[in-house]
Structure 1
């Protein structure tokens, strides 16, 4: 029977893994609705999701198989009395080493997706594109350095260490890695805000666009939680119990990263949705079924013609009314909010010259 902490790791990891997968599916549905081509950012998002699900899966295995979240089973007697049993240490070492490697790969993949998303959305000055590439280089260097240190944290290399192994202070290293990870998240989230503020839009629309991009800040909250967990944990023989917070936040952070990265792209799915539109759709379906049943009972041709005439007149009227709407409300002023994935180009003064 799992301890309460172990159960929490399993439930949180499973639920967030499902939500992250659902958000990616909805994002691709939104892309399909807008008839957009498959791009490099889509590839990076799929890679990020696969790595995130890997972290979630290993976290669940860590709680169920390696007993992380529960108290260590110790040696009952002898010279090693009070020390964790060797088989438990081995299981913990294997799963934690795997989580560290997968998490180190998942977070840069999420950041790379976000940067590729920026390049597709904002076709602006060379300065912004240069800043994106510079940030991409930083993310790549962070990934390579942290990954290599994680793999080679002990010699001989491997997840299981002995008394003869030579290891670095892993706890200090991961504290530094966690802090630099959060700093890069903050910078990436803030990058598009100056570009949005330069757009010639009403202040309300600017705030709306900035708010959409700030939904990605979920990953910052999770990253701070993981960083605090690393600074709270200490070297302890009851490691499996006290490492609970770092394990659960390691699962939360990439899931929040994927969810937050998908949110800015979901607007086409909910565009025009309201309770009234849902009720209208249900009524339309019921009306069509009713008409079909009346036709099957042998309705006369004259009755059929009479039923069709109002719909034809409505079609004609609707076409005219839509023309009036477009004449009265030109789309130029709303395109930045309604079509975020379209190209935006500014001149040197920050004026929109192509949307």
Structure 2
């Protein structure tokens, strides 16, 4: 196996942690704001995301503390191909123990938040509900199994968790094998969870371009899988090839760094599918002054009528029930009617908001009956 490169930029690691911390706080805050905008109500997926945020912030704190003390980006003196025990190595072992316990909770909560979100968005599909009901208890069991295995890896002899490497490896459980299994199953479960909505999306009666756009939102989660693969690779190389990689603290830095990246990216990924209302609100302000796009090219009308449940939950997805498929004439705030000069008659009347009175809401408001020769083109039911 090759010798892995070392990470020595302590200031860069601190800046990275600070940026991640800001981003995940904003992501969860906007998630709850999106629920407020749509009045969809808060669900189990939201509260699980909030709990995951709490533990991810704790994880970032552990990572930042280890970096400030020099345990991350530091180095172990090596003698005869084996790291020499130093006070800094003991400190690194303590941070490693705390980090590995906390990361198990973070990964478990993020996975559960995604599963409950999928169940909320695609719950009208019975086969999909069954898959969710199977994956949720499996994820809970996976999380608890590795959490307690990590906590009691040295039994109740707590000081053994930060003993010199030689003693730790001989007196505690086979931590190398446990972490290998954890890393591999973490990647596999992420792959299953992220890919779950894709078949449902492609069974919808929607244009291919819209299916691709929706699928791309979920496949952003592959960034998390990529970070997990990098973490697993670094772990395998540094743990099973000590002859070429004897610097314990430098190896510890690489493994913890990729776990830190994976945890924070996972937090962002689990919030992204819920942020459409927030993006639409701020994007709508920019576009609200545009009433037409030119003669013959069409324009957009907005309405405050009720939306589908999937839209309330933050995604612009078509309803899956037959009754909603039949509502082809209903206007909603997430429906675009593109009208082009041609043949036929289109009529519409009313205010853009649900109360029938003018308001300061951005968008086009109309009270005038429209009756002219236009052809409806590309109209879809949501």
TM-score scaled to structure 2, two decimals? 0.69
CA 274–120 in structure 1, closer or farther in 2 if over 3 Å, else same: closer
Maintained 8 Å contact 2:40/2:313:
no
Whole-angstrom distance in 2 between the partners of 1:279 and 1:199: 30
What CA deviation, in whole Å up to 9, does each residue of 1:287-319 have, x standing for no partner?
xxxxxxxxxxxxxxxxxxxxxxxxxxx9xxxxx
Report the structure, 1 or 2, having the larger helix content: 1
Match in the other structure for 2:56 = 52
- Kindly state the Cα deviation for residue 43 of structure 1 after the two structures are TM-superposed: 0.7
What CA deviation, in whole Å up to 9, does each residue of 1:225-257 have, x standing for no partner?
211221221346531122221111111111000
What CA deviation, in whole Å up to 9, does each residue of 1:136-168 have, x standing for no partner?
122112111111211121244323336487212
- Kindly state the Cα deviation for residue 352 of structure 1 after the two structures are TM-superposed: 4.8
> Is residue 2:201 matched to residue 1:196?
yes
Match in the other structure for 2:107 = 107
Whole-angstrom distance in 1 between the partners of 2:289 and 2:325: 38
What CA deviation, in whole Å up to 9, does each residue of 1:68-93 have, x standing for no partner?
22112689xxxxx97222x2232112
Whole-angstrom distance in 2 between the partners of 1:232 and 1:98: 22
The answer for unaligned runs of 5 or more in structure 1 is 76-80, 282-313, 315-321
What CA deviation, in whole Å up to 9, does each residue of 1:325-351 have, x standing for no partner?
479xx9999x8799627784346xxx9
CA 278–122 in structure 1, closer or farther in 2 if over 3 Å, else same: closer
> Is residue 2:261 matched to residue 1:252?
yes
Match in the other structure for 2:237 = 232
Whole-angstrom distance in 2 between the partners of 1:71 and 1:268: 47
Maintained 8 Å contact 1:155/1:166:
no
> Is residue 2:276 matched to residue 1:261?
no
What SS does the aligned partner of 1:233 have? helix
Match in the other structure for 1:10 = 14
Aligned length: 302
Whole-angstrom distance in 2 between the partners of 1:185 and 1:93: 28
Please point out which of 166, 183, 189 is paired with 1:184. 189
After the TM superposition, which residues 66-215 of structure 1 pair with which residues of structure 2 at under 5 Å, given as runs? 67-72=71-76, 83-85=84-86, 87-158=87-158, 159-161=161-163, 163=167, 166-215=171-220
What SS does the aligned partner of 2:65 have? helix
CA 170–7 in structure 1, closer or farther in 2 if over 3 Å, else same: farther
- Kindly state the Cα deviation for residue 209 of structure 1 after the two structures are TM-superposed: 1.6
- Kindly state the Cα deviation for residue 276 of structure 1 after the two structures are TM-superposed: 8.5
TM-score scaled to structure 1, two decimals? 0.74
After the TM superposition, which residues 336-347 of structure 1 pair with which residues of structure 2 at under 5 Å, given as runs? 340=315, 344-346=319-321
Maintained 8 Å contact 1:123/1:345:
no
Compare CA radii of gyration and give the structure with the larger one: 1
Whole-angstrom distance in 2 between the partners of 1:326 and 1:237: 64
> Is residue 2:26 matched to residue 1:25?
no
CA 37–343 in structure 1, closer or farther in 2 if over 3 Å, else same: farther
- Kindly state the Cα deviation for residue 216 of structure 1 after the two structures are TM-superposed: 2.8
Whole-angstrom distance in 1 between the partners of 2:214 and 2:287: 26
What SS does the aligned partner of 1:154 have? strand
The answer for unaligned runs of 5 or more in structure 2 is 1-6, 292-298, 328-381
Moved more, 102-111 or 257-266: 257-266
- Kindly state the Cα deviation for residue 124 of structure 1 after the two structures are TM-superposed: 2.0
- Kindly state the Cα deviation for residue 109 of structure 1 after the two structures are TM-superposed: 0.2
Whole-angstrom distance in 2 between the partners of 1:46 and 1:269: 18
CA 183–46 in structure 1, closer or farther in 2 if over 3 Å, else same: same
Q: Relative contact order (alpha carbons < 8 A, sep ≥ 6): 1 or 2 greater?
A: 1
What SS does the aligned partner of 1:4 have? coil
Whole-angstrom distance in 2 between the partners of 1:99 and 1:49: 15
Whole-angstrom distance in 2 between the partners of 1:226 and 1:214: 20
